[in-house]
Amino acid sequence: MSFGRVFFGQSQVELLPGEVSSANAISQRKRPRVCYRDRRGNMTAAVQASAAPSSVNKDLNDRVAAVRPSKTMQLTDLATSMKEKGVDVLSLAAGEPDFDTPESVIAAGVEALRKGLTHYTPNAGTQALRAAICHKLRTENGLEYTEQEVLVSNGAKQSVWQGLQAVCSEGDEVIIPAPFWVSYPEMARMAGAHPIILPSSADEGFLPSAEQIASAITPKSRLLILCTPSNPSGAVFPLSLLQAIAEVVRQHPRLLVLSDEIYEHIIYPPGAHHSFAALEGMHDRTLTVNGFSKAFAMTGWRLGYLAAPRAFTGAAARIQGHSTSGASSIAQHAGLAALALGPGGGDTVAAMVASFKSRRDFVLQQLKGMPGVKVLEPEGAFYVLPDCNALCGPHAHAPGFGDIPDDDALCRYLLEKAAVAVVPGSAFGAPNCIRISYAAADTVLQSAMQRMKDALAQIQTKA
């Protein structure tokens, strides 16, 4: 049945239940039922007619249009697609521990389900989890925060994004040392800010200098992002460098620091972790981001947090309240169990880190034996970032593949010819490097390194 008729000259369009009697509603009906009146005013039988094609404005928000897709996601998706087609792809692309979540943490999640703890929690997180995070920060990092200064979110990535949104205004500058996590510059753009990239090389330890940071600061500088241990290089900022950077920051009252410490517990001697907010004068101007995904192998639980002065966490909480709201109640209950494992995750995390170190050592040994590859020993995380400049550029060519002008082509070559997925270093601000994740089983790493060695040996370099 129809709910009414709207006349367009000689024609009459019937409206169906729920439609609004407006020209806009009618124009969007794909095949409206049109009735016509003859000269005597009698209705003819309804006929089906195609609506006139409408022009749809597909313009995007300028900030969103400027965002580049993640090469990490692209390579991971491509490798997955090849696997689904039966190709034996060995993926060293994803930044995810290959271990299962600890049993006590899983048990806590199951307990939450069985107890009916499946409802919304406060937007900022449960009081119990925020109190446990405060205790962790106090005892492990020397940081004093109240529960109101901690915001629990759906992963550390959301915490970084909300921190940027909370403190950056249109036209601000965000200083990002390279190599960097792929999302930092894009998040800055989404906040209306301009990413200012500070390059570094393997010869410089993939670390910025305090002088380099100082020279990049302008009146528009609002935020400096530090990530230690680093994704993608595995570099760990020594205390002396952090202190020198803090001295620079102290000279610029408007400059804040976002310290991403998600790989805090995955660290190898002589590397040692130091929270930037614990340095003199840095507590009130630092936004510390951490979470549960890496150290506790809880990537799928989506649980992270931001700790900062209340003005910043309060603003981030308002953003969260109008977007995702609070994190999963089940994940938060599991997070309590993760923190209960003890400082640094206790023996459970220590065993995982020991496995990562063994894998790191193996991968380093293999890479050092590959001609054209220069590699720096990482002190943290589970990545290595070999410099492959000698295998890329106008001089590089592989039979059956073609020229290899850059790291993008090198990664495609390794995927197509060796069925090994790694990520181009250019995605992280490190051109002609490749990021290898050794968060994979020993057998996978052994096969992948042999395939890479064989494939790289086929690359011909022109004089």
Distance from the first to the final alpha carbon of the chain: 79
Lowest mean pLDDT among 64-78, 212-226, 356-370: 64-78
pLDDT at 33 (0 to 100): 46
Please determine, for residue 13, whether its predicted confidence score (pLDDT) is greater than 60: no
Instruction: Tell which residue, 390, 73, 361, has the closest CA to residue 202.
Output: 390
Please determine, for residue 38, whether its predicted confidence score (pLDDT) is greater than 80: no
- Per the model's pLDDT, the better-predicted residue between 79 and 359 turns out to be 359
**Which stretches within 288-391 are classed as H helix?**
310-321, 329-339, 346-368
Rounded to 10 degrees, what is the CA torsion of 109, 110, 113, 118? Answer: 10
Please determine, for residue 5, whether its predicted confidence score (pLDDT) is greater than 90: no
387 secondary structure, DSSP code: B
pLDDT at 21 (0 to 100): 41
Domains (ranges, CATH) in the chain? Answer: 4-48 (no CATH), 68-98+347-461 (3.90.1150.10), 103-346 (3.40.640.10)
Task: Report how far residue 435's alpha carbon sits from residue 423's, in angstroms, rounded to the nearest whole number.
Answer: 5
Rounded to 10 degrees, what is the CA torsion of 86, 92, 97, 99? Answer: 50
Q: What average pLDDT does this structure show over 150-167?
A: 98
Please determine, for residue 450, whether its predicted confidence score (pLDDT) is greater than 80: yes
Buried-exposed string 238-254: b where 16+ CB fall within 10 A, e elsewhere: beebbebbbebbeebee
Contact, 290 vs 156, CB < 8 A? yes
> What does each C-alpha distance from 46 to 27, 49, 178 come to in angstroms?
17, 9, 66
pLDDT at 440 (0 to 100): 96
Please determine, for residue 250, whether its predicted confidence score (pLDDT) is greater than 70: yes
pLDDT tens digits, one per residue of 393-421: 998 999 999 999 999 999 999 999 999 99
Task: Report how far residue 398's alpha carbon sits from residue 439's, in angstroms, rounded to the nearest whole number.
Answer: 29
- pTM of the predicted model as reported, rounded to 2 decimal places: 0.86
pLDDT at 51 (0 to 100): 52
Please determine, for residue 22, whether its predicted confidence score (pLDDT) is greater than 70: no
- The pair of structure tokens assigned to 255 is 């400059």
Tell me how far the alpha carbon of residue 453 is from its chain's centroid. Answer: 29
Angle, vertex CA 437, rays to CA 431 and CA 440, nearest 5: 160
Contact, 97 vs 439, CB < 8 A? yes
- Residue showing tokens 């205790």: 135
pLDDT at 388 (0 to 100): 96
Computed over every residue of the chain, the mean pLDDT equals: 90
Please determine, for residue 31, whether its predicted confidence score (pLDDT) is greater than 60: no
149 secondary structure, DSSP code: G
Proportion of the chain above pLDDT 70, given as a percent? 88
Tell me how far the alpha carbon of residue 401 is from its chain's centroid. Answer: 31
pLDDT at 404 (0 to 100): 96
Contact, 75 vs 92, CB < 8 A? no
Which pairing describes strands 4-8 and 90-91: parallel, antiparallel, or unpaired?
unpaired
pLDDT tens digits, one per residue of 205-232: 999 999 999 999 999 999 999 999 999 9
